[in-house]
Amino acid sequence: MSIRERILEDIKVAMRAKDELARDTLRMLRSDLGKQELTLDRELSEDDVMGVLVRAVKTRTDSAAQYDEGGRPELAEKERLEIEIVRRYLPKALDEDEAKAAVAQAIRELDASSKKDMGRVMKALRERHGARLDGKLASRLVSASLS
């Protein structure tokens, strides 16, 4: 079953369980997937779907931080709960040690030695690990390794 099909099934389950947060979050994901499909003018691949899900997590993370800064902890908590719902559909993320190993391997394979090579290394990491590797973490590790 594809991720998109799982989301559609889980919307039905959330509706039956009267879980409004899950229902609304999953409906928003379904809408985001539809918008991306219209933008690309083709059916979404699993990688495209992963990209939409990663973007949804990032958007909600940024929103939660802004709500915290604005003194709205109840809205920040809602965003964090939505993040947990979206993460159900993402593959397990690489932890920091695994990310360090992946960065070191990419640098070795590409024979990267300076900050000029950062773009090549980041591109290789995205191709190999996709949604499993946090972009900010990867950028920080690559930058530190190439300094």
Percent of the chain surpassing pLDDT 70: 100
CA distance 13 to 35: 23
What pLDDT sits at residue 126? Answer: 87
Where does 3-87 sit in CATH, by number? 1.10.1510.10
10 Å CB burial of residue 140 (0-12, 13-18, 19+) is middle
CA distance 76 to 81: 9
CA distance 135 to 117: 16
Residue 7 above 80 pLDDT? yes
| Interval 41-58: pLDDT, tens | 999 988 889 889 989 999
CA distance 22 to 13: 9
Q: Domain map of the chain by residue range?
A: 3-87, 96-145
Architecture of domain 96-145 in this structure? Orthogonal Bundle (1.10)
pTM of the model: 0.75
Q: Hey, what are 129's tokens?
A: 């690990």
| Interval 57-88: pLDDT, tens | 999 999 999 999 999 999 999 999 999 999 99
3-state helix, strand, coil in the chain (%, to 5): 80, 0, 20
Residue 132 above 90 pLDDT? no
Q: Hey, what are 108's tokens?
A: 């070795």
What pLDDT sits at residue 24? Answer: 97
**What does the DSSP 8-state code read for residue 45?**
P
What pLDDT sits at residue 134? Answer: 82
